[in-house]
Amino acid sequence: MKFFLDTANIDEIREANATGLLDGVTTNPSLIKKSGRDFFEVITEIAKEVKGPVSAETVAHDHETMLKEGLKCAKIADNIAVKVPLTIEGLKTCKALRAEGIMVNVTLCFSANQALLAAKAGATFISPFVGRHDDIGFDGMDLIQDIRTIYDNYEFNTQILVASVRHPVHIHQAALIGADVATFPADVMKKLANHPLTTNGLAAFDKDWAATGFSIL
Protein backbone atom coordinates (compact mmCIF):
# COMPACT_ATOMS: atom_id res chain seq x y z
CA MET A 1 0.00 0.00 0.00
CA LYS A 2 1.30 3.50 -0.81
CA PHE A 3 1.37 6.10 1.96
CA PHE A 4 0.49 9.71 1.17
CA LEU A 5 0.51 12.54 3.70
CA ASP A 6 -2.64 14.65 3.81
CA THR A 7 -1.19 18.09 4.56
CA ALA A 8 0.24 21.29 3.05
CA ASN A 9 2.63 21.71 6.00
CA ILE A 10 6.15 21.40 4.53
CA ASP A 11 7.75 20.64 7.93
CA GLU A 12 5.44 17.66 8.48
CA ILE A 13 6.17 16.49 4.93
CA ARG A 14 9.95 16.76 5.41
CA GLU A 15 9.76 14.81 8.68
CA ALA A 16 7.65 12.04 7.12
CA ASN A 17 9.83 11.98 4.00
CA ALA A 18 12.92 11.46 6.16
CA THR A 19 11.51 8.07 7.17
CA GLY A 20 11.81 6.93 3.54
CA LEU A 21 8.23 5.59 3.77
CA LEU A 22 6.37 8.46 2.11
CA ASP A 23 5.04 7.87 -1.41
CA GLY A 24 3.18 11.13 -2.04
CA VAL A 25 1.16 14.06 -0.69
CA THR A 26 -2.44 15.24 -0.96
CA THR A 27 -3.65 18.75 -0.36
CA ASN A 28 -7.05 20.46 -0.55
CA PRO A 29 -8.27 24.07 -0.25
CA SER A 30 -8.78 23.71 3.53
CA LEU A 31 -5.22 22.41 4.02
CA ILE A 32 -3.82 25.22 1.85
CA LYS A 33 -5.75 27.74 4.00
CA LYS A 34 -4.38 26.04 7.14
CA SER A 35 -0.79 26.40 5.82
CA GLY A 36 -1.35 30.17 5.51
CA ARG A 37 0.87 30.15 2.41
CA ASP A 38 0.57 31.05 -1.30
CA PHE A 39 -0.92 28.14 -3.26
CA PHE A 40 1.68 27.96 -6.05
CA GLU A 41 4.59 28.59 -3.66
CA VAL A 42 3.66 25.77 -1.29
CA ILE A 43 2.70 23.24 -4.00
CA THR A 44 5.99 23.94 -5.83
CA GLU A 45 7.95 23.36 -2.62
CA ILE A 46 6.10 20.13 -1.80
CA ALA A 47 6.57 18.81 -5.37
CA LYS A 48 10.33 19.42 -5.02
CA GLU A 49 10.51 17.68 -1.61
CA VAL A 50 8.50 14.56 -2.55
CA LYS A 51 9.22 12.36 -5.60
CA GLY A 52 5.76 10.78 -5.71
CA PRO A 53 2.39 12.26 -6.77
CA VAL A 54 1.42 15.59 -5.16
CA SER A 55 -2.30 16.41 -5.42
CA ALA A 56 -3.22 20.06 -6.07
CA GLU A 57 -6.93 20.83 -6.09
CA THR A 58 -8.85 22.98 -8.57
CA VAL A 59 -11.53 25.29 -7.11
CA ALA A 60 -13.74 26.17 -10.10
CA HIS A 61 -17.10 24.40 -10.55
CA ASP A 62 -17.46 24.66 -14.34
CA HIS A 63 -15.52 22.41 -16.71
CA GLU A 64 -13.94 25.18 -18.82
CA THR A 65 -12.45 27.10 -15.86
CA MET A 66 -11.57 23.90 -13.99
CA LEU A 67 -9.63 22.68 -17.05
CA LYS A 68 -7.67 25.95 -17.24
CA GLU A 69 -6.85 25.66 -13.51
CA GLY A 70 -5.86 22.01 -13.92
CA LEU A 71 -3.55 22.68 -16.86
CA LYS A 72 -1.87 25.50 -14.89
CA CYS A 73 -1.41 23.27 -11.82
CA ALA A 74 0.03 20.46 -13.95
CA LYS A 75 2.75 22.83 -15.19
CA ILE A 76 4.08 23.27 -11.62
CA ALA A 77 5.94 19.94 -11.76
CA ASP A 78 5.85 16.49 -13.43
CA ASN A 79 4.64 14.79 -10.26
CA ILE A 80 1.48 16.92 -9.89
CA ALA A 81 -1.83 15.08 -9.75
CA VAL A 82 -4.67 17.49 -10.43
CA LYS A 83 -7.56 17.08 -7.99
CA VAL A 84 -11.08 17.60 -9.32
CA PRO A 85 -14.41 17.12 -7.48
CA LEU A 86 -16.73 14.22 -8.24
CA THR A 87 -19.25 16.20 -10.21
CA ILE A 88 -20.22 15.91 -13.89
CA GLU A 89 -18.07 18.99 -14.60
CA GLY A 90 -15.23 17.41 -12.62
CA LEU A 91 -15.53 14.13 -14.57
CA LYS A 92 -15.46 16.00 -17.89
CA THR A 93 -12.30 17.76 -16.71
CA CYS A 94 -10.79 14.47 -15.56
CA LYS A 95 -11.25 12.97 -19.04
CA ALA A 96 -9.74 16.05 -20.72
CA LEU A 97 -6.71 16.16 -18.42
CA ARG A 98 -6.11 12.41 -18.76
CA ALA A 99 -6.14 12.88 -22.54
CA GLU A 100 -3.19 15.24 -21.98
CA GLY A 101 -1.38 12.54 -19.95
CA ILE A 102 -1.88 14.43 -16.67
CA MET A 103 -2.47 12.48 -13.43
CA VAL A 104 -5.96 13.15 -11.99
CA ASN A 105 -7.22 12.53 -8.46
CA VAL A 106 -11.04 12.64 -8.33
CA THR A 107 -12.01 13.76 -4.84
CA LEU A 108 -15.07 14.09 -2.59
CA CYS A 109 -16.24 10.55 -3.42
CA PHE A 110 -18.97 9.15 -1.18
CA SER A 111 -20.57 6.35 -3.23
CA ALA A 112 -19.55 3.31 -5.27
CA ASN A 113 -21.49 4.65 -8.27
CA GLN A 114 -19.48 7.87 -8.11
CA ALA A 115 -16.28 5.80 -8.04
CA LEU A 116 -17.50 3.82 -11.08
CA LEU A 117 -17.99 7.09 -13.00
CA ALA A 118 -14.47 8.25 -12.07
CA ALA A 119 -12.94 4.98 -13.30
CA LYS A 120 -14.85 5.31 -16.58
CA ALA A 121 -13.48 8.87 -16.87
CA GLY A 122 -9.96 7.38 -16.63
CA ALA A 123 -9.06 8.82 -13.22
CA THR A 124 -5.58 7.95 -11.91
CA PHE A 125 -6.86 8.06 -8.31
CA ILE A 126 -10.29 8.00 -6.69
CA SER A 127 -10.54 9.54 -3.19
CA PRO A 128 -13.39 8.11 -1.13
CA PHE A 129 -13.69 9.95 2.23
CA VAL A 130 -14.03 7.31 4.98
CA GLY A 131 -13.89 9.60 8.03
CA ARG A 132 -16.65 11.88 6.79
CA HIS A 133 -18.72 8.80 6.03
CA ASP A 134 -18.19 7.54 9.58
CA ASP A 135 -19.14 11.02 10.86
CA ILE A 136 -22.70 10.57 9.57
CA GLY A 137 -23.12 7.04 10.88
CA PHE A 138 -22.08 5.00 7.83
CA ASP A 139 -19.10 2.64 7.86
CA GLY A 140 -16.68 4.26 5.41
CA MET A 141 -14.87 0.95 4.96
CA ASP A 142 -18.00 -0.62 3.37
CA LEU A 143 -17.58 1.96 0.62
CA ILE A 144 -13.93 0.98 0.10
CA GLN A 145 -14.88 -2.71 -0.07
CA ASP A 146 -17.59 -2.01 -2.69
CA ILE A 147 -15.24 0.08 -4.82
CA ARG A 148 -12.54 -2.60 -4.61
CA THR A 149 -15.01 -5.27 -5.74
CA ILE A 150 -16.32 -3.16 -8.65
CA TYR A 151 -12.87 -2.09 -9.82
CA ASP A 152 -11.67 -5.71 -9.71
CA ASN A 153 -14.79 -6.92 -11.54
CA TYR A 154 -13.98 -4.66 -14.50
CA GLU A 155 -10.19 -4.49 -14.09
CA PHE A 156 -10.21 -0.72 -13.82
CA ASN A 157 -6.71 0.80 -13.37
CA THR A 158 -7.93 3.65 -11.19
CA GLN A 159 -6.14 3.48 -7.83
CA ILE A 160 -8.27 3.57 -4.67
CA LEU A 161 -6.86 6.38 -2.49
CA VAL A 162 -8.50 6.14 0.93
CA ALA A 163 -8.97 9.71 2.20
CA SER A 164 -10.34 11.46 5.28
CA VAL A 165 -8.42 8.91 7.39
CA ARG A 166 -8.77 9.61 11.12
CA HIS A 167 -6.88 6.79 12.86
CA PRO A 168 -4.60 3.74 12.32
CA VAL A 169 -7.57 1.34 12.26
CA HIS A 170 -8.72 2.95 8.98
CA ILE A 171 -5.34 2.05 7.46
CA HIS A 172 -5.40 -1.50 8.81
CA GLN A 173 -8.90 -2.07 7.36
CA ALA A 174 -7.99 -0.39 4.04
CA ALA A 175 -4.95 -2.65 3.71
CA LEU A 176 -7.03 -5.77 4.41
CA ILE A 177 -9.45 -4.71 1.66
CA GLY A 178 -6.55 -4.08 -0.71
CA ALA A 179 -6.81 -0.32 -1.21
CA ASP A 180 -3.92 1.03 -3.31
CA VAL A 181 -3.15 4.17 -1.30
CA ALA A 182 -4.07 5.78 2.01
CA THR A 183 -3.62 9.48 2.74
CA PHE A 184 -3.54 10.64 6.31
CA PRO A 185 -2.43 13.43 8.68
CA ALA A 186 1.11 13.41 10.14
CA ASP A 187 -0.07 12.40 13.63
CA VAL A 188 -1.71 9.24 12.24
CA MET A 189 1.56 8.28 10.51
CA LYS A 190 3.40 8.51 13.83
CA LYS A 191 0.76 6.36 15.58
CA LEU A 192 1.16 3.59 12.97
CA ALA A 193 4.55 2.57 14.35
CA ASN A 194 3.48 2.79 17.97
CA HIS A 195 2.75 -0.35 20.01
CA PRO A 196 2.99 -0.49 23.83
CA LEU A 197 4.50 -3.98 23.76
CA THR A 198 7.24 -2.79 21.41
CA THR A 199 7.99 0.11 23.78
CA ASN A 200 7.92 -2.19 26.85
CA GLY A 201 10.00 -4.83 25.10
CA LEU A 202 12.65 -2.29 24.12
CA ALA A 203 12.81 -0.95 27.69
CA ALA A 204 13.26 -4.49 29.05
CA PHE A 205 16.03 -5.22 26.51
CA ASP A 206 17.73 -1.92 27.41
CA LYS A 207 17.61 -2.82 31.13
CA ASP A 208 18.91 -6.36 30.58
CA TRP A 209 21.63 -5.20 28.19
CA ALA A 210 22.78 -2.49 30.59
CA ALA A 211 23.19 -5.22 33.20
CA THR A 212 25.61 -7.08 30.97
CA GLY A 213 28.08 -4.17 30.81
CA PHE A 214 28.81 -5.07 27.17
CA SER A 215 28.77 -2.68 24.23
CA ILE A 216 28.55 -3.55 20.56
CA LEU A 217 30.54 -0.58 19.29
Our answer to whether residue 83 is catalytic in this structure is yes
Vertex 196, ends 18 and 178: CA angle to 5°? 60
Residue 38 main-chain phi, psi, to 5 deg: -65, 135
Find the part of the chain contacting ligand G3P (CB under 6 A) among 97-105, 127-135, 189-197, 203-211: 127-135
> Rounded to 5 degrees, what are φ and ψ at 101?
80, 15
* Site for ligand G3P contains 12 (CB under 6 A): no
Q: Which of 33, 68, 72, 83 is catalytic?
A: 83
Q: What span, in angstroms and rounded, lies between the C-alpha atoms of 4 and 127? A: 12
Q: How many CB atoms lie within 10 A of CB 216?
A: 4
> Are 188 and 6 a contacting pair, CB within 8 Å?
no
Nearer to ligand G3P, 120 or 166 (CB): 166
What number of residues does the chain have? 217
State in angstroms the smallest separation of the CB of 27 from ligand G3P.
7
The count of residues interacting with ligand G3P (CB under 6 A) is 9
Cα 142 to Cα 145: distance, rounded to the nearest angstrom: 5
Q: Site for ligand G3P (CB under 6 A): which residue of 5, 13, 16, 26?
A: 26
Write down the least CB distance from residue 164 to ligand G3P, Å. 3
Interface characters, 28-57, with ligand G3P (x: CB under 6 A): x-----------------------------
Contacting residues toward ligand G3P, per CB under 6 A: 6, 26, 28, 129, 131-132, 163-164, 183
- Active-site positions read 83
